[in-house]
Structure formats: structure tokens, C-alpha cells
Structure 1
Amino acid sequence: MNHHDVEQELQHLEYVFAHLSPKSTVPPLGYWRGRLNSLRKIPIVPSQRERINRLEQLLGTLELAVASGSESTPKETLPRAATRSRR
């Protein structure tokens, strides 16, 4: 996976994670965990690593909310650029 592919994948995951909620987890959260884990296995730049870490924190919060039956969404939000619609 080249730098451009990694960037596209991160943008997609940031967009999706901005729209996930404990009530709306289709595909299941394990699917998104697997996509994040696959990015951990390839060489990436530090700024991309930070974005992956932020996504993992959001996913962990969401996983806890689902496990506890909570309907609240994670309090941390993604940067504004990550929530723009894809064109």
C-alpha cells in the first residue's frame, strides 16, 4: 500500500467513524478494528500514526459504549476535515 492509498484509507475511516454510533454499527465494530489493524502493519509517517491512534481511541470508546448498552456517542470528535463528505 503506497502513501496515497494509506491517505485515502485514513480519510475514509475518519469519515465513517464520524458517523458511527452505538446504535449504528453496521458493519460490526470488529470489521473496523480489522481495517485499523491492517494499517498498523505497514510503514507510515508519524502524522498518519497519530490519526490511527485517534481512530483507535474513538473505536475503543464506541466498543465500550456498545458493550455497556449505552446509546451515547464518543465525546471526542474528529478534525473538521475528516468529517467532510467524500467527492
Structure 2
Amino acid sequence: MDHYQVEKDIQHLEQIINHIAANDPLPLSYWRNRVRTVAAEAIVPAQRGRVNRLIEALETLEARSKALRAQGTDGAPGALQEPEGS
């Protein structure tokens, strides 16, 4: 992968990861694999820093998704958990 393709891939991932949610049609593992692929090709320190921020954002999303599953919600916007005893 050349430098320009890596740059385009990083830009794309930055846009996508800022807009995905825990209930996205593609699982977070798909995006983690995409970031890992780009990370392996990132050769410039600035690219590595951006990829590291993508990894941190995914970790945050994964933690949020895990917390929502533990609460019994699916992470959909506006999804409310039914009060117990209803």
C-alpha cells in the first residue's frame, strides 16, 4: 500500500468511526480489523498517531457497547429500557 492510499484509508476511517454506533450494521470487530490493516501500513509518525487515536475511539465504542449490553439495551438512539415491574 502506498503512502497516498494509507492517507486516504485513515481519512475514511476517521470519518466513519466518528459516526458509527454500537448498533451499526457492521460489527465493531470489522472496523478494528480495518484499523489494524491500516496500522500495519502507517509509516509516518503522524499517521501512526492518527491510527492510535482511531484505536482509542474504537476501544471507547467497544466499552460503551459492552456497558449497553450489560444494561440490556441495544444502543439504539432513543432506546429506553422498560422500568422493572411494568
TM-score range normalised by the length of the shorter chain: 0.7 to 0.9
The letter of the residue matching 2:36 is: N
In structure 1, distance between residues paired with 2:66 and 2:43: 31
**Count of paired positions:** 71
**C-alpha spacing 1:43/1:16, structure 2 compared with 1 (3 Å):** closer
Percent same amino acid at aligned positions? 40
In structure 1, distance between residues paired with 2:4 and 2:65: 33
Task: Flag the structure with larger Rg.
Answer: 2
Task: State the superposition RMSD in angstroms.
Answer: 1.8
When the two structures are superposed, what TM-score results if normalisation uses the length of structure 1? 0.74
When the two structures are superposed, what TM-score results if normalisation uses the length of structure 2? 0.74
Unaligned runs of 5+ in 1: 72-87
Please list, as runs of the form range in 1=range in 2, the aligned pairs for 1:40-51 lying within 5 A after superposition: 40-51=39-50
Counterpart of 1:3 in structure 2 is 3
**C-alpha spacing 1:43/1:14, structure 2 compared with 1 (3 Å):** closer
Q: Is 1:13 paired with 2:13?
A: yes
The SS at the match of 1:59 is helix
The letter of the residue matching 1:40 is: A
Unaligned runs of 5+ in 2: 70-74, 76-86
